[in-house]
Structure 1
Amino acid sequence: MCGIKKKILLAAIFFAVGTSYCFKSAMTGPDWQLWTNKCLMQSYDSSADPKLKKFEFSVTTDAFIRLRKTYAKGKEEYYSFNLHQLNDLDYVGNTAVGTLQLRTIADDIIVQTRNDRKGDVDSMTTVLNIPVKNMEPERLDSLKEALNYFKSKGL
């Protein structure tokens, strides 16, 4: 019975930590990854693009951030870069709605477009603009901390 109580207590603590966006220094890589993916998926403002059918966000354990957008007519946009290349993170907007800007020093962000009427395009850029909603200052600070955790991991 004691083991069950301990698990419930640990689950409650993990939930409280994740909900309040406060971190303890003992968070592991999987903890950071879980929280970062959850934060990005919950914060992404898909209403900013009415033609968007589906989106997938992920941060991998090897410090890659990936965003795939699929539109109603089949067009896909794919963005990817290694967080070791992250130079700066800016936020433009208010707590209700805004844009998270991930910047690299050089053209390190891969941009691929598929099934577009204008043709498939592969290019590189230095800024990934992410429309977000409900970005409280504490959540933004925690997201910066999480991305910096992945950035600082050794290659």
Structure 2
Amino acid sequence: MKKFTFLLKIAAYTLLCAVFLSFSAYGPTEEEAIYVQQKLYDHYNAEAKGGLIKKYELHVTNTGFCRYKCFLSNGKIEYFSFNFLKYKDIDYSGTLQSGTLILRTKGEDVIVQTYNGGREGDIDSMATFMAIPLKNIEAEELNQLMEKFQQMNLKLRR
């Protein structure tokens, strides 16, 4: 009887652990993705490119993808995407009031697509970086973004 009770307790604890783990099974980079997306939205500079940006979409997923789509007032659409597995480093060019965050990858790992480009037509290519215009960002926030990017890269490698 003691053996049966002991096995029953083990089964109950195992089931309980499985239930708790199933509720915590969100994406490997959920916390970082939410933080990064919110910071980029808070500091996005829509007045960049001479005020040509009409609308933009910026998504950082919990599976490690960063997607940036920019709709210009002349009808042109620019789309950039990369996976944080390929992330290498960031740079920031400009001042604290206005600048460009440059996300660098290990190689030509950024997908670049342009639509409605006029005479050039639609273009698909690859690049080594993605540039996102930002404004009113402090140095400490840039350092935190860099840390979150590195954390996402490490978590995705596991």
| Alpha-carbon displacement from aligned partner over 1:36-73 (angstroms, at most 9, x marks no partner) | 11101111211112111101111111111110001123
Secondary structure of the equivalent of 1:46?
coil
Superposition RMSD in Å: 1.5
Whose helix fraction is larger, Structure 1's or Structure 2's?
2
2:52 is the alignment partner of 1:35? no
Superposition TM-score, scaled by structure 2 size: 0.75
Q: Secondary structure at the match of 2:39?
A: helix
Cα distance in 2 for partners of 1:56, 1:74 equals: 15
The 5-angstrom pairing of residues 57-72 of structure 1 reads: 57-72=58-73
Q: Which runs of 4+ in 1 moved over 4 A?
A: none
Does the Cα contact within 8 Å between 1:56 and 1:68 map onto a contact in 2? yes
Deviation at 1:99, TM superposition (A): 1.5
1:143: which partner in 2? Answer: 145
Q: SS state of the match for residue 62, structure 1?
A: coil
| Corresponding pairs, count | 128
**Corresponding residue for 2:11?**
none
Name 2:100's counterpart in structure 1. Answer: 99
SS of the aligned residue for 2:117 comes to coil
How far apart are 1:152 and its partner, in Å? 1.0
Task: State whether residues 100 and 130 of structure 1, in contact with CA within 8 Å, keep that contact through their aligned partners in structure 2.
Answer: yes
Identity of aligned residues (%): 38
Which structure 2 residue ranges, 5 or more long, are not aligned? 1-27
User: Offset of 1:30 from its aligned partner?
Assistant: 2.8
Question: For structure 1, which runs of at least 5 residues remain unmatched after alignment?
Answer: 1-27
Q: CA deviation at 1:94?
A: 2.1
CA offsets 1:90-125 (integer angstroms, 9 cap, x no match): 112221111111111211000001122120000001
Q: Is the 8 A contact 2:108 2:127 kept in 1?
A: yes
Distance 2:34 2:155 in 1: 16
Question: Is contact 2:89-2:105 (8 Å) kept?
Answer: yes
Q: Distance in 2 between matches of 1:48 and 1:79?
A: 16
Amino acid at match of 2:36: T
What is aligned with 2:154?
Answer: 152
